[in-house]
């Protein structure tokens, strides 16, 4: 493993499998009545969030605490960022407080990369603009592997031959880019299904197929990942109306019925119910939305553990039980 996790492209297949398998080990340990492990005792993790978040911020905090790290939560709202303090000065201030790892979410693509050049500790990208969100891709891969290949049984295996369709607002999605990179490294066959206006110009260079049709892709999919329509990042009209978008690219019960029986429905959250995903689909037995959130804690524990070099699990487990 490298010192930082900025992009899913930083991960070789072996690195990604190490994280997924470590998460499986941690999932076993955290199923026990005492969830806390002493592996990162004495280490400090700073959560540096310049953009809103529910799942990622809380799960990084829960992950660090379950590994017994000290956690400092920083939110740009109410901080000296409001007085004009720069990202560099904010980061150096937090580092002076002894951060071993900085988890950053920022509205600017490339912010995590810049930060990695300024601090001595590890940097984890928790979402930078429309660029990447590598731990979301890891938790999505972990969820697919568990649901499609069986929890535990899939250890050491990738996602070879698994067909994943990622649907909707790819243009504004850091989740889509990280997933395409990671899933292809793990051997999955990825197709993006989106209107042409919501695909990036350079999509031809991505390791995936592209389709403008959703209906024809569904029967061929083992997993379908619905993306949030990110209206807050839109500066133009990318489709005629929300109703028209839902009609062509939204997943409702009738469309879900086109999926093979074993296929799962994913969404990174937060969801726009009634836009990209109907409520009946989001709440159905095929939906892994809640499971993805739970797996997010386990994956982020694995990432922090591997980046910060915690003690071995068996030793840690013994220490907890004493
Ligand atoms: N999936 C995701 O990143 O959710 P949050 O914005 O709530 O962290």
Highest mean pLDDT: which of 90-99, 116-125, 308-317? 116-125
Mean pLDDT of the chain: 92
Complete edge-to-edge strand list for the sheet that includes strand 101-106? 70-75, 44-49, 101-106, 122-128
pLDDT of residue 297: 96
Question: Any idea what the Cα angle at residue 6 is, between residues 176 and 136, rounded to 5°?
Answer: 40
Residue 2 included in any domain: no
Quick one: 94 and 40 in the same domain? yes
Going by pLDDT thresholds of 50, 70 and 90, the confidence category of residue 311 is low
Residue 90 included in any domain: yes
* Residue (of 262, 279, 261, 263) closest to 271 by Cα position: 279
pLDDT of residue 310: 63
Going by pLDDT thresholds of 50, 70 and 90, the confidence category of residue 322 is very low
The token duo for 264 is: 């799962």
pLDDT in tens, 108-131: 999 999 999 999 999 999 999 999
* Residue (of 23, 15, 300, 4) closest to 182 by Cα position: 15
* Pocket probe mutation, ligand 1, options 50, 51, 52, 53, max atoms within 8 Å of Cβ: 53
User: Looking up tokens 């369709």, which residue turns up?
Assistant: 165
Q: 77 or 315: whose pLDDT is higher?
A: 77
Residue 38 included in any domain: yes
- The boundaries of the domain holding residue 150 are 135-287
Q: Is 56 in the pocket of ligand 1 (CB under 6 A)?
A: yes
Mean pLDDT confidence for 191-217: 97
Quick one: 268 and 193 in the same domain? yes
The token duo for 4 is: 């930082």
Share of the chain above pLDDT 70, in %: 95
Q: Is 47 in the pocket of ligand 1 (CB under 6 A)?
A: no
Closest atom of ligand 1 to 127 CA is 3
Q: What is the CATH number of the domain that holds 83?
A: 3.40.50.1370
pLDDT at 316 over 70: no
Quick one: 142 and 279 in the same domain? yes
Quick one: 85 and 157 in the same domain? no
Whole-structure pTM value: 0.94
Quick one: 251 and 273 in the same domain? yes
Quick one: 86 and 162 in the same domain? no
Quick one: 142 and 195 in the same domain? yes
Residue 178 included in any domain: yes
Quick one: 124 and 163 in the same domain? no
User: 58: CA distance to ligand 1 center in Å?
Assistant: 9
Closest atom of ligand 1 to 296 CA is 1
Quick one: 260 and 212 in the same domain? yes
Residue 47 included in any domain: yes
Quick one: 157 and 192 in the same domain? yes
Residue 71 included in any domain: yes
Contact 234, 193 (CB under 8 A): no
**Helix locations, the chain, DSSP H:** 13-30, 55-66, 87-96, 111-116, 134-149, 174-185, 242-249, 253-256, 279-282, 289-308, 313-321
Kindly give, in sequence order, each residue whose CB lies less than 8 Å from that of residue 134, ignoring residues fewer than 6 positions away: 5, 6, 7, 8, 10, 11, 125, 178, 182
Residue 1 included in any domain: no
């Amino acid at each position: 493993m490298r010192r930082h996790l900025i992009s899913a492209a930083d991960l070789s297949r072996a690195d990604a499998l190490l994280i997924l398998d470590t998460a499986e080990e941690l999932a076993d340990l955290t199923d026990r009545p005492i969830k806390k492990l002493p592996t990162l005792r004495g280490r400090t993790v700073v959560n540096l969030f310049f953009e809103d978040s529910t799942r990622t911020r809380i799960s990084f905090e829960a992950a660090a605490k379950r590994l017994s790290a000290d956690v400092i939560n920083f939110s740009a709202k109410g901080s000296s960022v409001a007085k004009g303090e720069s990202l560099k000065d904010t980061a150096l201030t937090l580092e002076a407080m002894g951060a071993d790892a900085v988890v950053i979410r920022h509205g600017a693509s490339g912010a995590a990369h810049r930060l990695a050049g300024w601090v001595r500790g590890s940097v984890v990208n928790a979402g930078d603009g429309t660029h990447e969100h590598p731990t979301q891709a890891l938790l999505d891969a972990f969820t697919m592997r568990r649901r499609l290949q069986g929890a535990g049984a899939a250890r050491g295996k990738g996602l070879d031959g698994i067909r994943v369709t990622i649907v909707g607002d790819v243009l504004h999605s850091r989740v889509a880019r990280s997933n395409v990179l990671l899933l292809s490294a793990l051997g999955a066959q990825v197709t993006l299904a989106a209107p042409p206006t919501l695909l990036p110009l350079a999509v031809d260079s991505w390791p995936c197929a592209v389709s403008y049709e959703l209906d024809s892709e569904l029967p061929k999919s083992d997993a379908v990942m619905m993306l949030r329509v990110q209206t807050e990042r839109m500066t133009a009209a990318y489709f005629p109306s929300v109703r028209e978008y839902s009609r062509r690219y939204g997943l409702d019960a009738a469309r879900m019925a086109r999926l093979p029986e074993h296929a799962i429905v994913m969404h990174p959250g937060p969801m726009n119910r009634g836009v990209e995903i109907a409520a009946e689909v989001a709440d159905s037995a095929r939906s892994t939305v809640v499971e993805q959130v739970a797996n997010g804690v386990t994956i982020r524990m694995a990432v922090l553990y591997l980046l910060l070099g915690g003690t071995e699990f068996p030793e840690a487990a013994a220490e907890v039980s004493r």
